[in-house]
Amino acid sequence: MIKTDVLILGGGLAGLSTAYHLNKISGLSALIVEKEKYPGGTAASISKQGFTFDFTGHLLHLHDPYGKKLIQDLLKGNLREINRSAWIYSHETLTRYPFQANTYGLPDSVINECLFGFLKTIHRPPSAKKKKTPTSFKDWAFETFGEGICRHFLFPYNEKLWQRKLSTMTTEWQGRFVPAPKVSEVLYGAVMDQTKAFGYNASFLYPTKGGIQSLPNALSSRLKKKQLLLGHEALWIDLKTKEAFIKKIGLISFKRLVNTIPLNDFISLVKKTPARVLNAAEDLSSNSVYCLNLGVSGRVMPEKHWIYFPEKKYPFYRVGFYHQFASSNAPAGASSLYVEFSRNSKSKVRLSDMESLALKALKDCKILKPDNQILIKEWLPIKCGYVVYDFKRTKVLNALLPYLAQNGVESIGRYGAWKYSFMEEAIMDGKKCAEKLKGNLC
Ligand SMILES: Cc1cc2nc3c(=O)[nH]c(=O)nc-3n(C[C@H](O)[C@H](O)[C@H](O)COP(=O)(O)OP(=O)(O)OC[C@H]3O[C@@H](n4cnc5c(N)ncnc54)[C@H](O)[C@@H]3O)c2cc1C
């Protein structure tokens, strides 16, 4: 039987980073098992017929000094900084992102409705504001931005993305993701084309070659030989005997386990789990993202990186353009697009139906013109796409994570820790986990 100090489930950025940092700071042995034949998880890319597609746009926003230095070092000579060009398409008009600060260009009636609702939120008597603390995302959005902005963008867009009633969601996730412009900016952006860049992703970094796969590849290349076992799925885990059964390998015995696969899937692999833990895991909620990648002839939407679609008549919530991140993502003179659909993770979908709807809608909104020929279509489904911050989430995590900790499991990364986070954070999670294990095991 293979023996290791640390067994890591999943070769996405969090798993790769854990092994990389364990090698760097400890003498512990570590093995990663990854079910796919490539590393990277949701930060992987596929290359076909001269096109490189990610699992929808994967752009680097670097905030932590250590994370920034490591990622810049890993991708040395293969990174470009890009100023975001993000847009919203509604009322047959393109307006700049974020909607709440950029209603200029929309029909007057829509601008008036958005401004009137927004001004009401400011001038409402303080007593009325104090009556109820906003708790749900829906209440918070309404009380912060008013009726018009919610009706024309925040509600329909977020309902499309999250696939549930916004009154069931908390506000814990939105801090950095929903920009809150000043009153003067909302007013200015209603009468002028406001070019100020708002939000956490005003500029980003992206590899010049190889798509985002370059990042997990670079991290994998710094691991020890045979440390990353690709094409090997974990089938069950026994936390009492500290053994995991891995497809095409058999049993691996470990001292500590690091989980980066979606928390609910992980719990279902653990043998003899107490009923209260199994029941709690049932309440973890997520959506699934279905990414339709298209390679087309001709250059589409020059200078735009992605466009949000709040309106129901468009079946997708966002469309983006990989060729604008790096010209190497498409052959010369061609374009590569990603079209993002969201569904409740429990829903059944028919990709062929979604594809027909997508192609028609892309023509309706004139992203695709009659002379753009489809050269390649590639669906990349992400079963667990966005973790949902509903009112059950914290309670469930408070039941699950201590149980796992007591049984020697660190559950980290976007899906292991069940959170809304980014690539840099996944890498930092791996570093922190390695430091913790070194302290406990060395
Ligand atoms: C639609 C979308 C857009 C995003 N855009 C951005 C962006 O622009 N910028 C950004 O920084 N971040 C973005 N992210 C987030 C980013 O993808 C993640 O934060 C990061 O890649 C998560 O890494 P991870 O290692 O935690 O998880 P994952 O990448 O999910 O890794 C988990 C790994 O476990 C493997 N696995 C699953 N089950 C098993 C099993 N039984 N046995 C063995 N292996 C298994 C999976 O194959 C996977 O490789 C986006 C995410 C999504 C879904």
Residue 252 is assigned to a structural domain of this protein: yes
- Six token digits for residue 276: 């209260």
Residues 139 and 217 placed together within one structural domain of the fold: no
One-letter amino acid for residue 72 of the chain: Q
Residue 90: per-residue pLDDT: 98
- Six token digits for residue 342: 């969201």
Question: Measured between alpha carbons, how far is residue 125 from residues 120, 183, 326 in Å?
Answer: 9, 17, 50
Residue 26 is assigned to a structural domain of this protein: yes
Please tell me the total number of residues recorded for the chain in this structure: 442
Kindly report, residue by residue over 358-377, the tens digit of the pLDDT. 999 999 999 999 999 999 99
What SS3 class is residue 359? helix
Q: Is the dihedral of CA 350, 58, 425, 134 positive or negative?
A: negative
Residue 86 is assigned to a structural domain of this protein: no
Kindly report, residue by residue over 68-117, the tens digit of the pLDDT. 999 999 999 999 999 999 999 999 999 999 999 999 999 999 999 999 99
Q: Is 355 left (phi over 0), alpha (psi -120 to 50) or beta?
A: alpha
- Domain count of the chain? 3
Residues 274 and 300 placed together within one structural domain of the fold: no
State which of 156, 191, 226 marks the end of a domain: 191
234 pocket-lining for ligand 1 (C-beta < 6 Å): yes
CA atoms within 13 A on the CB side of 155: 17
Q: Give CA–CA dist 387/172, Å, rounded.
A: 12
Residue 68 is assigned to a structural domain of this protein: yes
Residue whose CA lies nearest to ligand 1 atom number 53:
385
Kindly report, residue by residue over 38-73, the tens digit of the pLDDT. 999 999 999 999 999 999 999 999 999 999 999 999
Locate the ligand 1 atom nearest the alpha carbon of residue 15 and give its number.
25
Name the E strands within 39-159: 45-48, 51-54, 79-83, 86-90, 93-96
Residue 260 is assigned to a structural domain of this protein: yes
Note whether 335 and 216 are within 8 A (CB): no
Kindly report the CATH number assigned to the domain that includes residue 265.
Answer: 3.50.50.60
Distance 184 CA to ligand 1 centre (A): 38
Residue 6: count other Cβ atoms within 10 Å of its Cβ: 24
Residue 201 is assigned to a structural domain of this protein: no
Residue 60 is assigned to a structural domain of this protein: yes
- Six token digits for residue 390: 């509903």
Could you tell which of 21, 38, 42, 318 is best to mutate to test the pocket of ligand 1, judged by most ligand atoms within 8 Å of the CB?
42
Locate the ligand 1 atom nearest the alpha carbon of residue 246 and give its number.
42
Residue 207: per-residue pLDDT: 98
Q: Give CA–CA dist 369/68, Å, rounded.
A: 40
Could you tell which of 18, 293, 308, 414 is best to mutate to test the pocket of ligand 1, judged by most ligand atoms within 8 Å of the CB?
414
- Between the CA atoms of 233, 236, 240 and 241, what dihedral angle is there, to the nearest 10 degrees? -70
pLDDT tens digits in sequence order for the chain, 442 residues long: 899 999 999 999 999 999 999 999 999 999 999 999 999 999 999 999 999 999 999 999 999 999 999 999 999 999 999 999 999 999 999 999 999 999 999 999 999 999 999 999 988 765 655 556 658 999 999 999 999 999 999 999 999 999 999 999 999 887 777 778 889 999 999 999 988 888 777 899 999 999 999 999 999 999 999 999 999 999 999 999 999 999 999 999 999 999 999 999 999 999 999 999 999 999 999 999 999 999 999 999 989 999 999 999 999 999 999 999 999 999 999 999 999 999 999 999 999 999 999 999 999 999 999 999 999 999 999 999 999 999 999 999 999 999 999 999 999 999 999 999 999 999 999 999 999 999 888 7
Q: Which helix H or strand E contains 312, and what residues bound it?
A: none
Residue 131: per-residue pLDDT: 57
What value does the CA radius of gyration of the chain take, rounded to a whole number of Å?
23
Distance 291 CA to ligand 1 centre (A): 14
Residues 150 and 216 placed together within one structural domain of the fold: no
Q: Find the domain containing 318 and state its range.
A: 286-387
Residues 248 and 365 placed together within one structural domain of the fold: no
Distance 156 CA to ligand 1 centre (A): 26
Task: Give the pTM.
Answer: 0.95
User: Look-up: residue for tokens 């691996």?
Assistant: 252
Residue 177: per-residue pLDDT: 74
